[in-house]
Amino acid sequence: MADETDVQESTERSKEPERLTGIRFDDFAIPTEILAGLKDLGNVYCTPIQAEILPLVLAGKDVVCLARTGSGKTAAFLVSLFAGVLSNPDRKTGIPSALIVAPTQDLCLQIHEEAKSLGRYTGLDLAMVVRGQDDQGQSLASHENAAIVIGTPGGVIDFYKKGLLKTEGIKFLVIDEAERLFTQRLAGDMRYLLRKLPHSRERVSILFSGVLSYRVLAVTYDFMNLPDFVTTTLDQVRTNDIDQALFHVASEEKLRLLLGLLQRESWKRALIFVNSGEEAESLSQKLKDNGLPAEGVIGEWPQNKRRNLMARFKGGKIKILVTTDDLARGIHVEDITLAVNYRLPQDGETYIRRLGRVTVPGRAISFASEGDAFFIEPIEQKLGYKIPVLWPQDDWFREDQAGAAHPEIEESRAEPGTGRKPPKEKKEGIPFLVGKKVVFSREPGGVFGLAVEPKAETLEEPATMPQKRKKRHRGRPRKQKAGSKTPAETMSPAGEA
């Protein structure tokens, strides 16, 4: 029996570190304070990307990494930064030694929380600087003693211009999700910020990007010191470990099929991807109206509201989260067993990134309608295989209970005694013909043979109609009629009787 248990334990362990390597964190020259934080988090073995980055950064080399979210890149650069700052003999107190730049506030918050957990024994202070944060006063007071600063480009620039952030002591720089930071909207801010940092030969720079575009490559040559390139292959993405299915469905039937699949499938937490914040809000409201514990993430919300929503999602009070690709990059929650592509992404990289949110083993469902079916080909080209197609049965569709409630709400507004005015009826038709009688016309000028009925013409003018007076020109004298007296003849001289 002992041999059988050993065999079972060995097979279970072989399945667990499938995405890990045999390299341990204590195999590198990492301070014991950091190793203690890693042990508390249960991190003993390195992921493939961590095993390649750590020896390069610890040796003082710049690194450009092509990696997706969920590959362990956050822990890779945090361990490197903590180790570099603690081992730096020239570190000055009172000014930051490391800077981490991320595109969104949610991603900065995620990095900040993970850095607090990982560096709890290091004694290094952290600060998060983002534009428009609610606790800006607290951050302004605490950032001066922070060794590591985490922020968005706009937030870091604001603090720098106010004289509250000193950059001359920056020895380590991390640029996360560079493909978003060096877009046309943020490229100017990033280049301004990089020019205010010490020269690339005086610091260690780490850049992570999902796509090595021309803009990203230009930054590596302008602001980095001969970096080494590290990439992750498609086999490391583990898309084959996720059960995928593709449904061809009309746009007006998507909601009914989604309601039916959520009832049929077994899942713990679900992510539903759409392409706009308005659609996320609308779809989440429809799911809630159908009795499902769903919420939508909106980019325009304040940071505290999004933070509370993510805490409810992590705590299990919300089971379904409707989000966009931009806001989903800051989501790192365990036990997400179902991902639904309510709207297909336009490229394969985004599709793989969405699947990276799913816990293995998990399931990914995609809807292809008449508006986005042509995105299937580039996605399958990136994957290297065809996504299995399933045809839904009639009993897989569930009626939308929210749709039947809307007419009742509209009728209740028009009831007397409520104090509300009934909604105005919209007049349908061509705008310039509304309220006019339209008849068939054979005369030219009509719209598809239609024209406004002309007014009946009168044969003779009424006798009571006054005649028009002729216009009189002031410059011309009046013509005198024959036999009329001149003004001189009508006047009598003074003194005559």
Q: What is the DSSP code (8-state) at residue 358?
A: S
| 3-state class (DSSP) for residue 291 | coil
Omega within 30 of 0 (cis) for the link into 361: yes
Answer whether 402's CB lies under 8 Å from 290's CB: yes
* pLDDT tier at 497, thresholds 50, 70, 90: very low
Q: Average pLDDT, stretch 316-343? A: 83
Convert the pLDDT of each residue in 225-249 to its tens digit.
999 998 865 444 567 778 899 999 9
Closest CA to 205 of 181, 167, 170: 170
DSSP calls for 95-149:
S-SEEEE-SSHHHHHHHHHHHHHHTTTT---EEEE-TT-TTHHHHHHHGGG-SEE
Q: Which helix (H) or strand (E) holds 364?
A: strand 362-368
Answer whether 59's CB lies under 8 Å from 52's CB: no
Cα–chain center distance at 397? 29
Phi and psi dihedrals of 55, rounded to 5? Answer: -65, -30
* pLDDT tier at 441, thresholds 50, 70, 90: very low
pLDDT of residue 14: 32
Answer whether 295's CB lies under 8 Å from 321's CB: yes
Cα–chain center distance at 137? 27
pLDDT of residue 132: 65
DSSP calls for 277-288:
HHHHHHHHHHHH
pLDDT of residue 5: 35
* pLDDT tier at 478, thresholds 50, 70, 90: low
pLDDT of residue 315: 80
- Domains of the chain as residue ranges with CATH: 17-232 (3.40.50.300), 236-402 (3.40.50.300)
Residues across the chain: 497
Convert the pLDDT of each residue in 110-167 to its tens digit.
899 899 999 999 989 999 998 765 554 445 445 567 899 999 999 999 999 988 888 9
Q: What is the DSSP code (8-state) at residue 72?
A: S
CA atoms within 13 A on the CB side of 117: 13
Cβ count near 30 (within 10 Å): 19
Q: Which of 299-313, 389-403, 418-432 has the lowest mean pLDDT?
A: 418-432
| Residue ranges in 147-302 assigned as alpha helix (H) | 153-161, 178-181, 187-195, 214-223, 254-264, 277-289
Answer whether 356's CB lies under 8 Å from 237's CB: yes
Convert the pLDDT of each residue in 291-300 to its tens digit.
998 988 876 6
Query: Average pLDDT over the chain, rounded to whole?
Result: 77
Look up the pTM and report it: 0.63
Residue of 321 and 440 predicted with greater confidence: 321
Residue 3 pLDDT > 50: no
pLDDT of residue 359: 77
pLDDT of residue 118: 92
